[in-house]
Amino acid sequence: VNIIDNKWKPSYSSSVMLKGAVEHPMGVVTRRTGLRVDVIPAWERRREAVQPRRGSGNRRLYTDDDIRRLGLIRRTVEAGRQIGQVARLSNADLREYLSASRLQPPRLPGSVR
């Protein structure tokens, strides 16, 4: 957040405080989740993975919970599940899947489980 003349001015790469909750623009979300900037809106539109609030200029603003959820979904997809299978699961279900996938041996190309 840029501070000029004691006024808060959000920039495209800084977080904003609203009603006691911090909300983050896309740049912060991509850095914290490791997701590409084009992936996040696609997961929102097609899979309803998260539903960010829209700020001034219709910019998406994400909560810390949204960022944690996107990180869980990313790790679940990297562990072998398809986005369509996991986008609407609860965070608890995502964590459970990730815990279970750590206990299984890695899947080799061409192998069947």
pLDDT tens-place string over residues 14-61:
676 666 678 999 999 999 999 999 999 999 999 999 999 999 899 999
Please check the confidence at residue 7 and state whether its pLDDT lies above 50: no
The pTM score is 0.75
Given a contact cutoff of 8 angstroms between Cβ atoms, the answer to whether 71 and 63 are in contact is no
Hey, is 113 helix, strand or coil? coil
What is the spatial distance between Cα 64 and Cα 23, in angstroms, rounded to a whole number?
7
For residue 21, what pLDDT is reported?
A: 77
> What is d(CA 55, CA 104) in angstroms, rounded to the nearest whole number?
43
Give per-residue pLDDT as tens, 54-106.
998 999 999 999 999 999 999 999 999 999 999 999 999 999 999 998 866 55
| pLDDT value for 10 | 43
